[in-house]
Amino acid sequence: MEFLSKEEIIYSKKFSQNGYIISKIEQRRSLNYIKDLIIKYSNLILNKKNINLNKIHNYVSSKQLNEFRLDIINKINKDKKIRYHYFNTARNSLYTLAGNELMMQKNINLSIQFPNDDSSLLPIHSDVWSGDSPYEINLWIPLVDCYKTKSMYILENKYMNRFNYDIKNQQITNSKQIFNLVKKKIKWLKVNYGQCLIFNQALPHGNIVNKENETRWSMNCRFKSLFSPYGDKKIGEFFVPITTRPMTDIGLNFKYPFKK
| Tens of pLDDT, residues 25-39 | 999 999 999 999 999
Q: Is residue 1 part of a domain?
A: no
What average pLDDT does range 112-130 have in this prediction? 94
Q: Is residue 146 part of a domain?
A: yes
- What is the residue range of 161's domain? 6-252
CATH number of the domain bearing residue 87: 2.60.120.620
pLDDT at 259: 77
Query: How crowded is residue 106: how many other Cβ atoms within 10 Å of its Cβ?
Result: 14
The model scores a pTM over 0.85: yes
Q: Is residue 260 part of a domain?
A: no
Q: Is residue 138 part of a domain?
A: yes
pLDDT at 170: 87
Q: Is residue 232 part of a domain?
A: yes
Q: Is residue 23 part of a domain?
A: yes
Number of domains in the chain: 1
Q: Is residue 258 part of a domain?
A: no
Segments of the chain assigned E as strands = 20-24, 102-105, 109-113, 137-142, 153-154, 187-188, 195-200, 205-206, 216-225, 239-241
User: CA–CA distance from 219 to each of 77, 158, 159, 251 (Å)?
Assistant: 12, 26, 26, 35
Query: How crowded is residue 191: how many other Cβ atoms within 10 Å of its Cβ?
Result: 22
Q: Is residue 54 part of a domain?
A: yes
